[in-house]
Copies of this chain bind each other. A is one copy, B any other.
Amino acid sequence: MRPQKMSEAEIILGLAALPGWSLREGRLHRVFACKNFQEAFGRMASVALAAEAMNHHPDWSNSWNKVTIELITHSAGGLTALDFELARKIQTIFDG
């Protein structure tokens, strides 16, 4: 059961519930700034676990205290419910 590509209307609604996230080249995008590398990588480890449990992984980068996240469902060629679900989990992890 492959996740279905969302419509623009669904994406706009989804984004409204994700403050701080934006759409960038068709992907959910957010940059988190932590207090240092120790905190940034610790959060990344939590995100890695959440992603592996969903078998849905971010395209992400890190530069010291900054973590940049991009989410898309490659197999669907666009955003799906999986991306929004992972975004919400990531949000909770960085807020924690």
Most B CB atoms within 10 A — which of A38, A53, A63? A38
Interface string of A44-82 (1 = CB under 8 A from B): 111011111101011111111000000000000000000
Q: How many interface residues does chain A have, given as a range?
A: 20 to 34
Known: A60-B61, A62-B61, A63-B59. A46 touches B42 (CB 8 A): yes
Q: Which of B39, B44, B50, B53 contacts A55 (CB 8 A)?
A: B53
Interface assignment of A5: CB less than 8 Å from any CB of chain B: no
Contacts of A58 in B (CB 8 A): 62
Contacts of A52 in B (CB 8 A): 37-38, 41, 49, 52-53
Q: Which of B35, B38, B59, B93 contacts A50 (CB 8 A)?
A: B38
Residues of chain A at the chain B interface (Cβ within 8 Å): 35, 37-39, 41-46, 48-53, 55, 57-64, 93, 96
